[in-house]
């Protein structure tokens, strides 16, 4: 096909061709290139975001082994305190264990315990953020010399660093027996607010041991690429 | 006078230049589409590469994601258990060993003085939103004779200076005489005797 010989006609046709080319280019940019560029940007953003998430996950996962180890130690410490020093109910009864303990301590220092009475529990709500443990209160009466009482207290306080002596009243008996005083004291014993806590600690320990084993197995696995 | 006769027709004219529009158009007709095709190919390849990268990252995250959740759960458990342990340790921190305090008091009481009652009371109270044990001690007794007042003052000073007690006291002048009076039906024999009460507060035992 030849272009017309007439200059004006030729210019018109060339103009039309030029316009057509420009239109095709604009359409190609508008409907082809722009969406593809947008998609490319979205892909880049996705990759950056995924990389960040992966780095974060990697960081968390690297810390997990240490966290499991620390958690194991923490639960074991709680369990040790719970087993050794916290009073637990036997058939919903606390006072029997408390009485046994106080009488055995009295016997070991030669002080006769004249009475052990249950005093209930402290109001946990008054303590603000103390939620897991509450205080079981025991009132104890003895009649002995001051020095013997000091020995008894020392014995009780040495046996359990978590007890607290919350009140003491020592009254002299100058007429009846000046060598012996009437002594009443109150002992606060930590106990779990949730009586199922010891069982829950055992469950947690078992779970942590399982996690530790899984971690060890994973550490032995060859790295997959 | 020169006469120029042009025997070449317009259609027969040729440019003397190496580059002419036609050749540029011909070369462009091959080169431009080729460059465009290369750009498109490079673009498509980079898109494919980005998609591949994204998919492999997604797969890696599918594996690491649940592990991260486990890690977060383990950390939350650790934080909860640390709170419980700290709470239990608070019981130990908040207490005062009263056997040591009573022994310290016994050593400081002069022979001429007779204590009738010793009372220690405590309460659980929040201090700056932290739970605490507050201890108060009261000593009731009788000092006999002309030197009763001096004896009580001496006792107060000695108690304040006692190293075994002062470590636990709320202030250096924690021991205060809150009662100092003679007998109700005084006779010549006991008119100088004095009943006294000395009280003190201990440092709060913070849980």
Vertex A157, ends A151 and A161: CA angle to 5°?
Answer: 160
Residues of A within 8 A of B129 (CB-CB) are 128-129
The answer to whether the CB atoms of B71 and A61 lie below 8 A apart is: yes
Please say whether the beta carbons of A178 and A172 come within 8 A: yes
* Whether the predicted pLDDT of A125 surpasses 60: no
Q: Which of A159, A129, A195, A88 is nearest to B90 (CA)?
A: A129
pLDDT at B59: 94
B151 Cα to chain A: minimum distance (Å): 20
What does the longest C-alpha to C-alpha distance in chain A come to? 147
pLDDT at A28: 86
Residues of B within 8 A of A167 (CB-CB) are 119-122
pLDDT band at A129 (very low <50, low <70, confident <90, very high): low
In tens, the pLDDT along A137-170 reads 999 999 999 999 999 999 999 999 998 999 999 9
* Nearest chain B residue to A172, by CA: B116
pLDDT at A124: 54
- A92 contact B CB<8A: no
Q: Distance between CA atoms of B115 and B136, rounded to whole angstroms?
A: 17
- Does the pTM surpass 0.90? The reply is no
pLDDT band at A222 (very low <50, low <70, confident <90, very high): low
Q: Distance between CA atoms of A160 and A105, rounded to whole angstroms?
A: 11
Residues of A within 8 A of B88 (CB-CB) are 78, 81, 86, 132-133, 162, 190
Residues of B within 8 A of A36 (CB-CB) are 43, 47
In tens, the pLDDT along B9-41 reads 777 777 677 677 778 888 888 998 899 899 889
Residues of B within 8 A of A135 (CB-CB) are 124
pLDDT at A38: 92
The answer to whether the CB atoms of A44 and B47 lie below 8 A apart is: no
Q: For A54, which of B43, B57, B74 is closest by C-beta distance?
A: B57
Residues of A within 8 A of B51 (CB-CB) are 43
* Nearest chain A residue to B46, by CA: A40
Mean pLDDT taken over chain B: 86
State mean pLDDT over B182-205: 84
* Whether the predicted pLDDT of B55 surpasses 90: yes
In tens, the pLDDT along A46-62 reads 999 999 999 998 888 88
State mean pLDDT over B158-187: 79
The answer to whether the CB atoms of B74 and A71 lie below 8 A apart is: yes
Q: Which of B81, B10, B199 is nearest to A132 (CA)?
A: B81
pLDDT at A109: 93
State mean pLDDT over A105-130: 81
Q: Name the token pair of B10.
A: 């317009």
The answer to whether the CB atoms of A68 and B74 lie below 8 A apart is: yes
pLDDT at A225: 46
B166 Cα to chain A: minimum distance (Å): 19
Spell out the alpha helix ranges (H) of A28-164. 34-85, 95-109, 146-159
The answer to whether the CB atoms of B117 and A169 lie below 8 A apart is: yes
For the question of an ipTM over 0.90, the answer is no
Residue B206's Cα: distance from chain center in Å? Answer: 16
In tens, the pLDDT along B141-151 reads 988 888 888 88
* Whether the predicted pLDDT of A192 surpasses 70: yes
In tens, the pLDDT along B81-133 reads 999 999 899 899 989 999 999 998 888 888 778 888 999 999 888 888 778 88
**Residue numbers of A between 44 and 83 with CB closer than 8 Å to B:** 44, 46-47, 50-51, 53-54, 56-58, 60-61, 63-64, 67-68, 70-71, 74-75, 77-78, 81
Distances in Å between the Cα of B106 and the Cα atoms of A149, B86, B139 are 12, 34, 12
Which class would CATH give B98-206? alpha beta
The answer to whether the CB atoms of B88 and A39 lie below 8 A apart is: no
| Domain range summary for chain B, segments of one domain joined by + | 20-94, 98-206
* Nearest chain A residue to B117, by CA: A171
The answer to whether the CB atoms of B90 and A130 lie below 8 A apart is: yes
Q: Distance between CA atoms of A194 and A133, rounded to whole angstroms?
A: 8
Residues of A within 8 A of B122 (CB-CB) are 164, 166-167
Q: Distance between CA atoms of B53 and B61, rounded to whole angstroms?
A: 12
Please say whether the beta carbons of A125 and B127 come within 8 A: no
Mean pLDDT taken over chain A: 89
């Amino acid at each position: 096909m030849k272009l017309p010989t007439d200059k004006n006609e030729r210019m018109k046709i060339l103009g039309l061709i030029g316009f057509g080319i420009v239109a095709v280019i604009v359409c190609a940019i508008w409907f082809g290139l722009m969406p593809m560029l947008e998609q490319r940007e979205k892909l880049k953003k996705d990759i950056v975001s995924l990389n960040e998430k992966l780095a974060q996950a990697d960081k968390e996962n690297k810390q997990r082994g240490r966290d499991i180890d620390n958690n194991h130690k923490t639960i074991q410490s709680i369990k040790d305190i719970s087993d050794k020093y916290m009073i637990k109910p036997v058939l919903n009864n606390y006072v029997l264990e408390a009485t046994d303990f106080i009488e055995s301590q009295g016997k070991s220092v030669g002080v006769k315990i004249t009475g052990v009475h249950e005093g209930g529990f402290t109001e946990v709500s008054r303590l603000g953020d103390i939620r897991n443990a509450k205080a079981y209160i025991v009132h104890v009466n003895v009649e002995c010399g001051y020095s013997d009482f000091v020995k008894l207290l020392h014995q009780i306080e040495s046996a359990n660093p978590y007890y607290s002596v919350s009140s003491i009243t020592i009254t002299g008996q100058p007429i009846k027996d000046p060598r012996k005083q009437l002594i009443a004291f109150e002992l606060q014993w930590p106990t779990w607010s949730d009586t199922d806590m010891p069982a829950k600690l055992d469950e947690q320990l078992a779970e942590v041991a399982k996690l530790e084993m899984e971690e060890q197995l994973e550490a032995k696995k060859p790295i997959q690429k | 006078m020169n006469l120029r006769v042009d025997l070449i027709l317009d259609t027969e004219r040729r440019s003397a230049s190496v580059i002419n529009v036609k050749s540029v158009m011909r070369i462009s007709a091959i080169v431009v589409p080729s460059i465009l095709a290369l750009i498109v190919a490079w673009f498509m390849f980079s898109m494919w590469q980005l998609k591949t990268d994204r998919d492999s990252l997604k797969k890696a995250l599918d594996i690491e994601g649940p592990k991260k959740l486990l890690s977060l759960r383990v950390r939350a458990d650790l934080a909860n258990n640390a709170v419980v342990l700290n709470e239990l340790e608070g019981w130990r921190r908040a207490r005062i060993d009263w056997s040591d305090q009573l022994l310290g008091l016994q050593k400081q009481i002069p022979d001429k003085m007779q204590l009738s009652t010793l009372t220690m009371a405590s309460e659980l109270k929040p201090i700056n939103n932290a739970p605490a044990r507050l201890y108060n001690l009261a000593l009731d007794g009788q000092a006999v004779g002309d030197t009763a007042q001096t004896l009580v003052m001496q006792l107060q000073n000695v108690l304040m200076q006692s190293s075994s007690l002062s470590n636990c006291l709320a202030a250096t002048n924690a021991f205060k005489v809150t009662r100092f009076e003679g007998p109700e039906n005084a006779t010549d024999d006991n008119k100088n005797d004095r009943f006294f009460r000395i009280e003190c507060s201990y440092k709060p035992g913070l849980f």
